[in-house]
Chains A and B, each alone.
Chain A
Amino acid sequence: MRLAEAWRVALDALRANRLRSALTMLGVIIGVGAVVVLVAIGTGAKNEVEAQVEGLGSNLMLVVPGRLEFGSAPSASRLSLRDADAVAEVVGDPRRVTATVASGETVRAGGRERFTTVQGVLATTPEVFDRPVGRGRYFTESDVRTGRRVAVLGATVARALFPDRDPIGQQVTVAGVRFRVSGLFAPLGQSLGVDRDDEIHIPISAAQRLLGVDRVDGLAIKAPDREHIDDLRARVVAELSQRHPDTEFSAVTQEQILGVLGDILGVLTGVLAAIAGISLLVGGVGVSNIMLVSVRERTREIGLRKAVGARPRDIGLQFLLEAVLLTTVGGVLGMGLGVGSSLLVGALSPVPASITWWSLALAFGVSAAVGIVFGVAPAQRAGRLDPVVALRSE
């Protein structure tokens, strides 16, 4: 029997039981759709996190006291601004180093208020993090030295406190202390549901006085080039360890962060795909089940076909194609469902979804394979039926 003929026969058989075919397909549709959607969400999350880390600026290195591990509590910082100066010596360029002390505080202006992240930082911050000011100006080195009370607002804070006037030159109070707004950041938008515009920057000296501390939470360094970044990291850690012999320091580069996050999200994506794969497997069992029913129902037809000259493999091929047709048509519809759902999730929720061609190819390939794997047993059973017995069956 020609292959085209076998396809036609398989299609006719599926058409004869439309509802049953559709319900059997549904299992595959949901399985394939789930694979596509979950992989899209996993990939989207990974892309977004990576974009965010890369958006921090190139060749960036973060230094914090304590060990940077998941699950370990942050240790109390013994870093100070003098350490920042020492690290700037090591790097050889003070413009490439910034320090930060952060706290959640309520910021007020007029009758309005907003609880936001207050970052006390050095004047070099816009350069180190590649984050230029949108309007107005950032504070200067002398502002930091004198502890001047000036603030640069993120777009969300600016909108919340000054919905109808220009914030530049206006007064805001941070934890009850007055600051003058000198500039506004350009909006960065959201990533993974976190608003990156919900913060204000003030000189670190002013922040330390405001919080009553002289510590620094962490340092950030923009390395001059990528090749020597590991060497630089070692020298920075060595310098800090020498200054604070009883404290451990961690310095991570952007690449390391990307690597770790990429690994975690890769595993997450894999787990999601595996869970969805299970539903695809269940769909395959459904296909196998319905094919066995179909073989039993059509035993007499099989007997007749054999009597007029169908070989075992002709019959086997017919039923195998029927199973493969069920799963591949289901697979294509499932891809449609998956792509549609991914677009919907991406549009309607903060969860990013990025459809990848390999997840589509994988889902389709797996669904076709499921049809073959789960169709083989019923097809073999059909092919091996004794024509005499088959013709006699009711």
Chain B
Amino acid sequence: MTGPAVEAERVARTYRLEGFSVRALREVSLTVERGDYVAIVGPSGSGKSTLMHLLGGLDRPTSGRLRLDGRDVAGLSPAELARLRNEVIGFVFQAFHLLPRTSAVENVALPLVYRGLGARKRRAAAAEMLERVGLGHRLTHRPNQMSGGEQQRVAIARALVTGPSVLLADEPTGNLDSATGESVLHLLETLNAESGVAVVLVTHDRDVAARARRQIAMRDGRVASDSAQTDQEPSGGTP
């Protein structure tokens, strides 16, 4: 597949809450190339979470055009959108979101369940992925038997086991101490370099953001600045 991993053209998202319209995102245009390493920063309420949900295919824009891996999300049914997420996107959350009472290898294999892969193939792929994130010795451990750093590594393995184009990480180091956070970031960077998956990292931590090749700052539902376009007019036209 050629072309950018993510392509957003004048994407807006408006929520309706008890009669009020809340414009969480106002006409954002954004392209994430394959293998890119992007940090999205901004204060809470700036629209970065909404943008993240749109880029992850968890939500659809109210207007504008959004292409994930070249596929337009407009007009996709919830089932088609789920399939798109399964094939193109990998998620890493601040709170890990691992299934309790479920071993590391089964947690990692979960996305492959919804791809319809057989148990043996799933297990083999999950075990290999855990090996790559340095948890080859923790296959049968459950989340409550692992440290926070190990749990986040399991989550990263789960995000990458399907071979996605984009890995979306929402505050991946938010629940970790700085040393552990550092090693998780290092892992993300290594995987980004090795596998060519585009990493989009949402964070409010300036130091974390500074490590990315490209920083996008959000404010009031718009892109306030984009380091890839410093010599251009920022999209959305902030004052």
Q: Which of B109-162 contact A (CB under 8 A)?
A: 110-111, 113-116, 119, 158, 162
List A contacts of B99 (CB < 8 A).
301, 304
Does B37 sit within 8 A of A, measured CB to CB?
no
B163 CB to closest chain A CB (Å) equals 13
Q: How extensive is the interface on chain A, given as a class?
A: 20 to 34
Residue in contact with A311 in the complex, picked from B83, B110, B119, CB distance below 8 Å: B83
List A contacts of B91 (CB < 8 A).
307-308
- A16-B101, A301-B99, A313-B79 in contact; A307/B56 too (CB < 8 A)? yes
CB nearest neighbor in A for B50: A388
Is A307 touching B78 in the complex (CB atoms < 8 A)?
no
List B contacts of A5 (CB < 8 A).
113, 119
- A1-B116, A2-B116 in contact; A300/B97 too (CB < 8 A)? yes
CB nearest neighbor in A for B116: A2
Main secondary structure of the interface of A (DSSP, over half): helix
What is the bound-complex CA distance between A387 and B86, given in angstroms? 13
Residue among A12, A16, A310 with max Cβ neighbours from chain B (10 Å): A310
A74 CB to closest chain B CB (Å) equals 73
Q: Which of A42-91 contact B (CB under 8 A)?
A: none
Is A309 touching B114 in the complex (CB atoms < 8 A)?
yes
Residue in contact with A305 in the complex, picked from B79, B101, B110, B115, CB distance below 8 Å: B110
Is A311 touching B114 in the complex (CB atoms < 8 A)?
yes
List B contacts of A391 (CB < 8 A).
58, 93, 97
Does A262 sit within 8 A of B, measured CB to CB?
no
Encoded as 1 (CB less than 8 Å from any B CB) or 0, chain A from 6 to 17 comes to 000000100010
Does B53 sit within 8 A of A, measured CB to CB?
yes
Is A388 touching B58 in the complex (CB atoms < 8 A)?
yes
CB nearest neighbor in B for A16: B101
Is B114 touching A387 in the complex (CB atoms < 8 A)?
no
List B contacts of A386 (CB < 8 A).
59
- A2-B116, A308-B158 in contact; A387/B110 too (CB < 8 A)? no
What is the bound-complex CA distance between A388 and B78, given in angstroms? 13
List B contacts of A2 (CB < 8 A).
113, 116
List B contacts of A311 (CB < 8 A).
78-79, 82-83, 114
Does A314 sit within 8 A of B, measured CB to CB?
yes
Is B58 touching A387 in the complex (CB atoms < 8 A)?
yes
CB nearest neighbor in A for B93: A391
List A contacts of B86 (CB < 8 A).
308-309
CB nearest neighbor in B for A13: B101
Q: How many A-B residue pairs have CB under 8 A?
A: 64
CB nearest neighbor in A for B85: A309
List A contacts of B82 (CB < 8 A).
306, 309-312, 314
Is A304 touching B101 in the complex (CB atoms < 8 A)?
no
Encoded as 1 (CB less than 8 Å from any A CB) or 0, chain B from 83 to 98 comes to 1011100010100010
Encoded as 1 (CB less than 8 Å from any B CB) or 0, chain A from 286 to 330 comes to 000000000000001101111111111110000000000000000
List B contacts of A301 (CB < 8 A).
99
Is B83 touching A309 in the complex (CB atoms < 8 A)?
yes
- A1-B116, A5-B113, A388-B59 in contact; A307/B85 too (CB < 8 A)? yes
Is A308 touching B101 in the complex (CB atoms < 8 A)?
no
Is B78 touching A312 in the complex (CB atoms < 8 A)?
yes
What is the bound-complex CA distance between A12 and B142, given in angstroms? 14
Is B53 touching A314 in the complex (CB atoms < 8 A)?
no
What is the bound-complex CA distance between A386 and B111, given in angstroms? 18
A14 CB to closest chain B CB (Å) equals 12
List A contacts of B83 (CB < 8 A).
309, 311
What is the bound-complex CA distance between A16 and B79, given in angstroms? 28
What is the bound-complex CA distance between A309 and B56, given in angstroms? 11
Is B114 touching A314 in the complex (CB atoms < 8 A)?
yes
A317 CB to closest chain B CB (Å) equals 11
17 A-B contact pairs sorted by A residue (CB < 8 Å) = A1-B116, A2-B113, A2-B116, A305-B114, A307-B58, A308-B85, A308-B114, A309-B83, A309-B86, A309-B111, A309-B114, A309-B115, A309-B162, A311-B83, A311-B114, A312-B78, A388-B59
Q: A: which residues have CB within 8 A of B?
A: 1-2, 5, 12, 16, 300-301, 303-314, 386-388, 391
Extra 6 A-B pairs, beta carbons < 8 Å, given A12-B101, A308-B114, A309-B111 = A1-B116, A304-B99, A305-B110, A309-B86, A311-B78, A391-B97
